[in-house]
Amino acid sequence: MTDYKNFNVETDADGIALVTWDMPGKSMNVITVEVMDELDAIIDRTVADGAVKGVVITSGKSSFSGGADLSMIKALFTLQVEEKAKDPAHAVEKLFALTGRMSGLFRKLETCGKPWVSAINGTCMGGAFELSLACHGRVASNAKSVKFALPEVKVGIFPGAGGTQRVPRLANTQDALQMMTTGSSLSAARAKAMNLVHQVVAPEELIPAARKMILDGLKPMAPWDEKGFKAPGGGIWTPAAAQLWPAAPAILRRESAGNYPAALAILKCVYEGLQLPFGTALKVEQRYFTHILQTTEAFSMIRSLFISMQELGKGARRPAAVPRAEFRKVGIVGAGFMGASIGYVTAAAGIPVVLIDRDQEAADKGKAVCENLVAGSVTKGRISKEDGEKLLSLITPTADYAALSDADLVIEAVFEDREVKKAVTEKIQAVLPEGAILASNTSTLPITGLAKNSKCPDQFVGIHFFSPVEKMMLTEVILGEETGDRALATALDYVAAIKKTPIVVNDTRGFYVNRCVFRYIGEAYDMLIEGVPAAMIENAAKMAGMPVGPLSLNDEVAVDLSYKIFKAALADLGPEAVDPRHMDLVTRLVEDGRLGRKSAKGFYDYPPKPAKKRLWPGLKDLYPQQKPEDLDVKVLKERLLVTIALEAARTVEEGIVTDPREADVGSILGFGFAPYTGGTLSYIDGMGVKTFVALCDKLAGSYGDRFKPTPLLRDMAAKGETFYGRFDPYGKKAAA
């Protein structure tokens, strides 16, 4: 029985069929339509084969499986749109039938009459975990790499193949809800403690233990199919449940402000499902799943957080004709706050690094930062001591520029000062081998101007990191006017090597991310000046789905940075460039030493730990305060999101961002723009450009011209267009 593409099936003398899932040409197994067809056939054949006593399913890869192929779910969206246009009455019916496929298959396995054991050798996610939960036995390896999760909620959907029904019938309800509504990962030990796996064994014991379960007489029946089954804790009608259920929606609302319909659907599935026979409960789950698949949130989140993120990570914007760059050595000049951590992430990717500063002492200080980062990772068990030492051995601190003579790429991260950067660029240029690429990590200076300091402006590019570099997944690759394809390709190859997601933007003041961020902070300044209580501003932001309030964010990036940026804008662009009321607010804070978290006071006060930060009470004395009850939170939320989305639209109109995927992914990874929207442009597309324009006009009427829709938006509204339609990333690729 080996005539399958994705599985190898071998039955031994004891009648145990070992099904090894090993998809050709893929680094990880995923559930596709073909995989489901083959699994269906395997169930039929093992049931029909009298020689088979039971089945062990495992994986031939280092991981078990990543779960359902989300491209398959994306195809469902496309189908749904087409079906709705053709036959609206039956479109949802068809979607309902399709969504039941995986759930029905797993139920077929569960009720096939022969025992199945899942032998979980590595990461087991989403649909693959649901498949394992439908097996009658589950054995997991105790290797560190074994992780379980039902992470669907993170992309706007939920475990719709029985997960919401099987987990709360095995684990206690509170743990089940917590795990599914957050999408968090479980170690094998935790999964065992939650009763989600039966055994945890050494890797070499995995298959023998799974076989033994069957040979020991594992019953081919799920506990919930036995007469008199009771869920752990007794289900819904118990004193414990009476404590849990009234609080559950309130806790969810506190955590997600009602922005994630899929998370609420999980609660509904569990609450309703636990009161029903299993088969009916699966139907309830299927109905909610069908409903969630039709939400804008699910569509936008899957597109940005899964499909686009993957495409950008794989180099969607990379010039295909340029050969892939090899990095034998990367130079970093400026071993300060940013340079040191850039050195760390580069060495973590196995690339030798030269870390240069003004003198040996300063360079050594940079390496010491890397040593601290490594020590932290070792303590947390993220890397072994040996790997940590290996990483550090790749970093050479020095003041000698000659060490750059065999570098493939040099990243400059010295002070944000044109003259300092010019002098450093000239020194690098004097030793840099021909063909090597020079990059700047500047956050404000135009790349086109900096490139003029270089002998080969076509080999000069911006690579803008975000702080903290070791945590932030995004980098902005900035193209100067003369940046050539090889410089772009090298920058993208480097970003891929250090496992971050790039967006490619054209040169402009603030590039993309910071332009958006400073609109967000600027709107909070306006609100403060109007007398909106600071706590309302911060809370409205969180209710809108932002991870950090704008005042808190300003404290993190430093209030004096805003001051410096205003000063630079006034000097470069004239008095119109900065709102004098904003300058006045920021000046007041800076003169008072309120520079942000770094000075332990800014918009917040930061008392010594364990006390928590709190908003500076003096803020309310700066401007006459409005009464909270006179303010509309919905409007505050709209203002904060709309001002950012409008700025994103402006960057598209100006040709700074050319691909909507980059605007969306950049906004979520760069500053956490309300992930349920799918990002800045999906937020606009999601409500419809016409509705967005009307909202902007309304806000402009009340709060000023900064909300006026741009000509592009008006044109798109008139034509009924979307960003993904007008700036179709796939159309462009096809044409290229």
| CB of residue 467 to ligand NAD, shortest distance in Å | 4
Cβ-contact 375, 423 below 8 angstroms:
no
Exposed/middle/buried for residue 217 (C-beta within 10 Å: 0-12, 13-18, 19+): exposed
CB of 184 to ligand NAD, least distance (A): 29
- H/E element, 289: helix 278-293
**DSSP character for 229?**
-
CA pseudo-torsion sign 288, 290, 293, 295: negative
Determine contact, residues 503/474, Cβ cutoff 8 Å: yes
Between the CA of residue 146 and those of 56, 93, 211, what are the distances in Å? 18, 38, 20
Shortest Å distance, C-beta 97 to ligand NAD: 50
Q: How far is the CB of 397 from ligand NAD (least distance, A)?
A: 11
We find the least distance from the C-beta atom of residue 421 to ligand NAD, in angstroms, to be 7
Identify the burial level of 705 via C-beta atoms within 10 angstroms of its C-beta, where 0-12 means exposed, 13-18 middle and 19 or more buried: exposed
Catalytic residue among 136, 198, 291, 464: 464
Tell me the residue ranges of DSSP E strands in 537-635: 604-605, 614-615
Give the residue nearest to ligand NAD (CB).
Answer: 336
Residue 309 or 561 having the CB closest to ligand NAD: 561
C-beta of 277: minimal distance to ligand NAD in Å? Answer: 57
Q: Quote the tokens at residue 392.
A: 């550090």
User: Rule CB under 6 A: which residues touch ligand NAD?
Assistant: 333-339, 357-358, 362, 413-416, 420, 423-424, 441-443, 464-465, 467
Residue 287 or 464: the one with the smaller Cβ distance to ligand NAD is 464
Residue with tokens 């430093």: 558
Closest separation in Å from C-beta 578 to ligand NAD: 19
Helix (H, G, I), strand (E, B) or coil at 238: coil
Q: Which residue has the tokens 């980098």?
A: 475
Shortest Cβ distance from residue 318 to ligand NAD (Å)? Answer: 23
Looking at beta carbons only, is 294 or 444 nearer to ligand NAD? Answer: 444
Nearer to ligand NAD, 359 or 485 (CB): 359
Using the minimum distance from each CB to ligand NAD, give the nearer residue, 214 or 340: 340
Residue entry with tokens 């495992």:
58
Give min distance, CB of 561 to ligand NAD, in A: 8
Considering Cα of 247, then 250, then 254, then 257, what sign does the dihedral take?
Answer: positive
Q: Which is nearer to ligand NAD, 218 or 413 (CB)?
A: 413
The Cα–Cα gap between 539 and 535 comes to 6
| Of 602 and 660, CB closest to ligand NAD | 602
Residue carrying structure tokens 């010039």: 319
Query: Residue type at 150?
Result: L
Question: Which residues face 19 on adjacent strands?
Answer: 9, 57
Residue 666 CB contacts under 8 Å (≥ 6 apart), including other chains: 474, 476, 503, 505, 512, 513, 657, 679
User: What is the phi/psi pair of residue 677, to 5°?
Assistant: -85, -20
Torsion of CA 151, 152, 158, 161, to 10 degrees: -90
The answer to whether 262 and 292 are in contact (CB under 8 A) is yes
- Compare residues 360 and 393 and give the one whose CB is closer to ligand NAD: 360
- Quick check: bond before 457 cis, omega within 30? no
Bridge partners, residue 20, by sequence: 8, 58
What is the C-alpha separation between 541 and 556, in angstroms, rounded? Answer: 16
Residue 634 contacts by C-beta under 8 Å, 6 or more apart in sequence? none
Cβ of residue 464: shortest distance to ligand NAD, in angstroms?
6
Residue pair 153/263 in contact by the 8 Å Cβ criterion: yes
CB of 311 to ligand NAD, least distance (A): 25
Residue number with CB closer to ligand NAD (415 or 730): 415
User: Which residue lies nearer to ligand NAD by CB, 470 or 721?
Assistant: 470
464 is catalytic: yes
Give one DSSP letter per residue of 83-140, joined into a string. HHHH-HHHHHHHHHHHHHHHHHHHHHHHTSSS-EEEEE-S-EEHHHHHHHHHSSEEEE
Nearer to ligand NAD, 332 or 527 (CB): 332
Read off the tokens for 371. 């040593």
For residue 398, the SS3 value is: strand
Burial environment of residue 322 by CB neighbours within 10 A (0 to 12, 13 to 18, 19 or more): middle
Q: Which residues are catalytically annotated?
A: 464
